[in-house]
Amino acid sequence: MSLVVGLDVGTQSVKLVAYDAAARRVVATHGHSLELIAGDDGSREQRAEWWIGAIRTCFGKLDAASRSRVAAIGVSGQQHGFVPLDAAGQVLAPAKLWCDTSTQRECEEIMDAVGGAQRCVELAGNPILAGYTASKLPWTRKHRPDVYARLATILLPHDYVNFWLTGERWMESGDASGTGWLDVRTRRWSPELLAATDPDRDLSACLPPLVKADASFPIASSIAAELGLPRSVRVSAGGGDNMMAAIGTGNVAPGVLSMSLGTSGTLFAHADHPVVDDAAGWAAFCSSAGGWLPLICTMNCTLATEGVAKAFGFGTRDGDVVMAGTAPGAGGLVMLPFFNGERTPDLPYARGSLHGVDLGNLTCANVYRAAMEGATYALRNGYDALLGAGLRFDAIRLTGGGSHSAAWRQMVADVFGLPVEVPLQAEGAAFGAALQALWAHARATGEKADLATIAREHVLIAPGLSARPDPKDSVAYQGHYRQFLRHLEVARSFYANPPAAGAG
């Protein structure tokens, strides 16, 4: 029987999942780590060839018999990254990533040009936040003028991988809605926001056509030969990692709340209509399943726990053991884990901070717990905005690296007061890309496939990994969460503006 492959091009690694849909079984999972170029100005970049090299490595780990069975590939990619191509399709510069905060001034310039953040919401459904693709264009014009002069095509990370696989350039609405230019209500580019980004150039000429979520394209014969794949393989539209994780956790119908505990933290829900917040309390994105995906994103999640673990000389796989014996509240420590700046709340200039330190509570275990709690509280703060809009949920579907931690699963259940379920396939974005590929391939071969049905049939809940709220700890966390919010209010004023030159 045939296989579908999901590729997840993340910040820390590329992952490959090969799935046998007939047997409902993942037959192989491979990964390859990636480097990150970090600058003191908040810049975060990667070279596009690193992604391709990692993909080659992952396919190289897949046995030849499995490669010969591949029928379709779906690509999930980290959102918001900017991959500039020249007219010949060559990459012109390192890709600026979602976690890049060096372009905050350009965000403000774009929003000022159209009349402010509220006007951006009216035009496209979202303000231009740090990390979004739009601000990377004027930054490139200022700092890499030669690159900007030769720019012919604007691609997002998953778009570039699709381009490498097929030789075709396209975008789909889910990932495209994270550029800041797409009117999520109409799924059309906003001429006003494109003009505000560069009034002297028609940027729409650099944007590939938008395709539907179930679209697919044939793999380039040269790439099929290089990877040892059949020439009949089709590549689905793909999407952003959050959009693919939504599919991979079965979040393709209203009523499900998914949470991803990855480098960034995200909360997202499916809607069959645009869900735009005038106050921009969440990202009003399209989904990669044909609907919409209101989304909360924090820029520091497992990044916080990994940073603490590294500082204290242990690995996050040992984190649950390290923090065993600690209690909610981390002995009085409160961490604001804003090491990369923050998007929710919108504090691009923020930095991480630890509060409540005394001679008795400054232990490795408490600091690690404080990092985990801080990352969880930051997501809860965004969740409160969804509740304020009248949305209600019965359970949380948890994915991402943090979902491997039993302590973190229980903490999420207690802090949110909701039962937690973990899909059997932990790599939600890669698995979602595989399921989208399955859907698109079926459509391409004439089947009347329905993605919601596919998700119900293939997204299984892992036995033994669910967690239910502990009444005592849930009550305790309510007080500690309020303390976190008090520190957050102080941080809002402290980090409202960029630091003075030379300041730490």
Separation CA 303–CA 182 (nearest Å): 29
Q: How many CB atoms lie within 10 A of CB 286?
A: 29
Measured distance CA(171)–CA(153) in Å, rounded: 11
Amino acid at 273: H
Q: Residues 6 or more apart from 233 whose CB is under 8 A from it?
A: 70, 71, 72, 73, 218, 219, 224
Candidates 405, 174, 171; CA nearest to 268 is 174
| β pairing state of 353-355 and 334-336 | antiparallel
d(CA 262, CA 306): 11
Q: At what angle do helices 406-416 and 364-388 cross, to 10 degrees?
A: 40
Q: Per the structure block, which two tokens stand in for 172?
A: 């789909």
Rounded Cα–Cα distance for residues 155 and 178 (Å): 12
Rg (CA), the chain: 22
DSSP secondary structure, 4-64, as one string? EEEEEE-SSEEEEEEEETTTTEEEEEEEEE---EE-TTS-EEE-HHHHHHHHHHHHHHS-H
- Tokens representing 62 are 């897949």
- Does the annotation mark 241 as catalytic? yes
Q: Which amino acid is at 259?
A: M
- The 10 Å Cβ neighbour count of residue 463 is 8
d(CA 235, CA 276): 31
The secondary structure of 441-454 as a DSSP string is HHHHTT----HHHH
Answer for the pair 297, 257: CB distance below 8 angstroms, yes or no: no
Closest to 248 in 3D by CA, of 263, 265, 229, 268: 268
Beta-carbon contacts of 308 under 8 Å, excluding residues fewer than 6 positions away, are 367, 368, 371
Q: How far apart are CA 50 and CA 72, in angstroms?
A: 23
Residues 432 and 427: their CA atoms lie apart, in Å, by 8
CB 179 within 8 A of CB 134: yes
Catalytic residue among 8, 100, 175, 241: 241
Distance between CA atoms of residues 181 and 485, nearest Å: 32
Instruction: Name the residues annotated as catalytic.
Output: 241
